[in-house]
Amino acid sequence: MDGSSCGNHSHAGIGGVGRDSSGDVQFIFFVYTGLHTNNLTEAQAILLALENASKLGWRIIICESDSQIVVNLLNRWHLDGVSWHFVFIVEQILNLFASLESVTFTHIPREWNGLAGCLAKWASDHIHHWNLVDWS
């Protein structure tokens, strides 16, 4: 998953790909999210990916993001000094944990996140609302 915001508090979009344990694509998403900061947009992408994975019945989830800042915040749950908007997204992520067996947040290089990045960038450039695309 990835977020795209051209500037810090600008038109933003999120995008992501959900793959099962075999690596097969089960869903993709790209959503224009309004005017947001980069870090908030990255967290929104993680939340939407977790929500969609949970709806598919997945209980063990590995979230890969190219945002080192957001991955570190989610792994440490240390939210001092972050905006209330970000805390609100993190609280929603925490609420999902009750229904999941395991969630791991992993930082990956930007080069490995190309498809999600393209989806997020497309969504931020096109001020529309897009829904989940289910590949199953």
What pTM, to 2 d.p., does this model score?
0.80
pLDDT at 133 over 50: no
Give me the number of domains the chain comprises. 1
CATH of the domain at 6: 3.30.420.10
pLDDT in tens, 24-63: 988 888 888 777 777 788 888 889 889 989 999 999 998 8
3-state secondary structure the chain: CEEEECCCCEEEEEEEEEECCCCCEEEEEEEEEEEECHHHHHHHHHHHHHHHHHHCCCCEEEEEECCHHHHHHHHHCCCCCCCHHHHHHHHHHHHHHCCCCEEEEEECCHHHHHHHHHHHHHHHHCCCCCCCEECC
pLDDT at 69 over 70: yes
Residue 110's domain comprises 2-134
